[in-house]
């Protein structure tokens, strides 16, 4: 399902529960389970809220958690800013903050304008006025994921945003 503007997904800003369709519709739990080798993965929409980013720009944030029983496997966060330039400012501020903290990054290409991967589990991508943040989570028993899984899952979610 193609999503035209995340605003449709974020229609319930200020409410305590995510409305349908949620950010979870960008990336199915079965796809996350299949690509990570985990069975029985479920998707749980998070809160939708307005927040201020690192750059001081205000935007709307929505998230989806992917769980296998009580174990968190991955998180997809989507940030929508008022404009492309506001999203670019926030994206650049986040990348600068990672640089200051000494977190190494790699440029990744996909259906977005700019993207960076941190370690092997986290991708941060800019698509228009949308910032997509996907992270595979390492729980108390660290899991091993195939190389490129985080980028592939981020690309799958980003491709559904038009």
Is the pLDDT confidence value at 140 over 80? no
Count of the separate structural domains present in the chain: 1
Residue 38 lies in a domain: yes
Q: Classify residue 29 by its DSSP letter.
A: H
Residue 3: the pLDDT is: 38
CB 158 within 8 A of CB 127: yes
Distance CA 20, CA 98 (A): 33
CATH of the domain at 48: 3.40.1000.70
Structure-model confidence comparison of residues 80 and 139, the more confident one: 80
Is residue 85 domain-resident? yes
CA distance 138 to 117: 16
Q: Which of 74, 78, 39 is nearest to 62 (CA)?
A: 78
State yes or no: pLDDT of 162 exceeds 90: no
Domain that holds residue 73: 6-159
Would you say residue 108 has pLDDT above 90? yes
Question: pLDDT at position 22, please?
Answer: 79
**For residue range 10-47, what is the model confidence (pLDDT) as tens digits?**
443 333 344 445 799 999 999 999 998 888 999 999 98
């Amino acid at each position: 399902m193609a999503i035209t503007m995340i605003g449709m997904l974020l229609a319930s800003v200020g409410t305590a529960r995510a409305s349908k369709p949620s950010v979870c519709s960008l990336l199915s739990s079965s796809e996350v389970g299949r690509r990570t080798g985990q069975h029985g993965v479920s998707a749980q929409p998070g809160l939708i809220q307005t927040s201020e980013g690192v750059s001081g720009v205000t935007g709307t944030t929505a998230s989806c958690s992917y769980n296998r029983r009580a174990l968190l496997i991955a998180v997809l966060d989507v940030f929508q800013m008022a404009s492309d330039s506001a999203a670019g400012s926030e994206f650049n501020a986040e990348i600068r903050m990672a640089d200051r903290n000494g977190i190494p990054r790699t440029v990744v290409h996909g259906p977005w304008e700019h993207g960076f991967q941190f370690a092997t589990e986290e991708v941060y991508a800019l698509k228009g006025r949308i910032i997509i943040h996907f992270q595979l989570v390492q729980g108390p028993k660290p899991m091993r994921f195939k190389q490129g899984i985080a980028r592939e899952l981020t690309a799958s979610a980003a491709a559904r945003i038009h």
